[in-house]
Structures are given as structure tokens and as C-alpha cells.
Copies of this chain bind each other. A is one copy, B any other.
Amino acid sequence: MTAELNRKVVLAKRPDGVPDESCFRVEDEELAPLENGQVRIDVSHLSIDAFIRTTFEEVAYHGGAAVSATIVALGVGRVRESRSDQFNPGDAVMAPFGAQTIATLPDVMLQPIDEKRAPMTASLGVLGMTTGLTAYFGIREVGRVQPGETVVVSAAAGAVGCLAGQIAKIDGAARVIGIAGGAEKCAYLTKELGFDAAIDYKGEDVDKRLRELAPEGIDVYFDNVGGPMLDVVLDQIREQARVVICGAISQYHGDMSKGVRGPNLYLRLAERHARMEGFAVTHFGAQFEEAEAQLVEWLGADSLKLPEQIENGIENFGATLQMLFEGGNTGKLLLAV
């Protein structure tokens, strides 16, 4: 019997800008015997998230990955072998498996998935920490969207953006405007996801369109992009506005520990008595259970939708991550491994 191999993707070198193929290397390794308390999982899908890029830096908020180490990624899969009494073969689980086909982890790192509640991949999407929970806490706890308000979401066709806009509508926003790249994505947001309007930043003047769509200004900006677009919106915030800093995908390159392009119009915060507040989903760990219950309810009632875009093959991990940074996806980007 030939030993089955784990195929993994390691960081070949630190990227400069958007990582290209040369930054990744595929390696095969033999499986070591399972130790006590360990569980071995057949990874089914990996979540392709922007934060992965930040781990490629030597000094990084999410922990800098070592060159030649397996790339960090959240995933879902099924237990194939267990030396833990917590998990049995066939169980569906979620964990930070890393970019590989077969993961071996201590049982404490695994989270069981209740497949009766939703398909396994929903744990990376609507119910996922980096997606559903991030959108939920960003809109509810940081943005504190109030009924009647005007909300703008950048990277709105991305997984977090799709959900943030829908949750803002559920919470009573009078107008939710998405900013996305391309007419097709924009049409999807308004026709399928209930956004009131969408602006195609590739084909339209965002500043001008925002002034038309929100002539009285913006109450909440849910920002995933940073860069010059953050200034465009800051210029149009209302008194008491809240700018939610969820991410800054346009700035995830170079040595981010030294800083990125800062918002030149941050003094609008003083002029308009507004605030800019950042968060990472982990700050709300104590409220995860309550938030998940709410998301499951909305999902069941069909009031929350999240399209999945599934690419294939662990070898394509690098190309799929690149797609994320080039805005090639609509909804949740997953890699079936």
C-alpha cells in the first residue's frame, strides 16, 4: 500500500505587492502516525480571505508566517481518523487547517459543524468568523446602524460586503449603497441582494455618484478597501457618522507594519463630530454564540443570501488568492481542495 500523501502550499518567498505564483510552492509530504489527542481531517473547502495576505509579512498583526511554512487558511472538512474521544470519523469540522489537503490537528483546535443547520460551507460563509460574524459585528456593534440611515459598503460584492449590506437593510437602513467593480456585480447587489443602489467604481465617478445617491450625506461607511476611496467617503460623511474599519484590501502590500496610505481627510471626523472605529471579529468572541443564532435564523428565513464562488484544486491556492485581490469574485470565494 502506497502511503497517502498530504499536499500543501507553502510560502516560497515574501511577496512585494499582490502575491504571484512565485510566492507559492506546492509540496507533498507523508502522513506521520497520529498522536494521542490528534485528529486527521480530509479538508473539503478552504476560505479565501484577505487576512491571509497580511500573514505574508515578516511583522504582521495576524502573526507573520515563516517562509516555507504552510500558508494559513480556515477550512471545513471531514474527520478521517481520530485519536480523540471528541471526534469520530465522518464528523464535519471547521478549523484553521492551513492550505493543505489533509490536516492533522489537536482536537482542541477543531469546531464541530452542525450540518442540520446549514451545509458545511456555510460555516465559512454566512456563519463564518471571517465572513458572517465579521459583517454582523461590524454593522451592529461598531457601525450601530439605526433605522432610516444611509449606509455605504465598499468591496460590496465580496463576501463580507454582501452580508454587511443585507444586515444593514435588516436593521432598518433607509438606503444601502454598495461600491463594487463592474456592472455585473452591481446588478447582482441591487437585483439579488436588496441593495438600494450600487456604484461601479471601475466605470463610474464614485464621488459624484455618491453625492447623487446620498445628497444628505453618509451615516455609516463599512470599509473593506481603504486607500483613496476612504477619502471620497470621508468627504461626504454626516455629523455623527461612523466609519467602520473592517479592512483595507487596497493597501495589503509592502511592509504594512510601517503603515499604509492614511486617510488624508481624517479631519472631517473633527468637523463633523464623527468617528472611525476599527475591529477584528475576535474582539467579540463572547458574543459569537448569540450572533450565530441570529445568522442561522436569518439564513433559514431566506433574508440573508451569500453566493459562493468555488474554485478547484489545492494547486490553485495562489491563483485563487490573487483573484480575491483583483476583485474577480462575487460572494464567498472558496477553494475545493
Contacts and interface: CB of A to CB of B under 8 A. Distances in A.
Contacts of A292: none
Given A231-B259, A262-B262, A278 B283 contact: no
Contact of A246 (B226, B247, B259, B270): B270
Given A264-B259, A283-B239, A245 B269 contact: yes
B275 A280 contact: no
Contacts of A263: 259, 262-263, 266
A30 interface: no
Contact of A271 (B61, B251, B273): B61
Contacts of A248: 267, 270
Contacts of A258: 264
A261 interface: yes
A23 interface: no
A276 B279 contact: no
A265 interface: yes
A278 B270 CA distance: 4
Given A239-B283, A276-B276, A283-B239, A266 B262 contact: yes
A78 to B, nearest CB: 34
A291 interface: no
How many copies of this kind of chain does the complex include? 2
Interface in A252-307: 256, 258-280, 283
Given A239-B283, A283-B239, A267 B260 contact: yes
Given A272-B278, A276-B276, A277-B274, A266 B283 contact: no
A268 B61 CA distance: 9
Interface centre among A61, A265, A270 (most CB of B within 10 A): A270
Nearest to A270: B278
A250 B61 CA distance: 29
A272 B260 CA distance: 16
Nearest to A277: B275
Pick the most buried of A61, A258, A266, A278: most chain B CB atoms within 10 A of its CB. Answer: A266
A59 to B, nearest CB: 12
B262 A247 contact: no
A120 to B, nearest CB: 29
Interface string A98-137: 0000000000000000000000000000000000000000
A151 B164 CA distance: 34
Interface in A68-117: none
A271 B280 contact: yes
A143 to B, nearest CB: 12
Contacts of A271: 61, 278, 280
Contacts of A274: 277-278
14 contacts: A61-B267, A61-B271, A259-B263, A259-B264, A259-B265, A262-B264, A266-B278, A267-B278, A269-B276, A270-B280, A271-B280, A273-B277, A273-B279, A275-B278
Given A259-B263, A266-B266, A275-B275, 9 more contacts: A246-B270, A261-B262, A262-B266, A263-B263, A263-B266, A270-B278, A273-B277, A273-B283, A274-B277
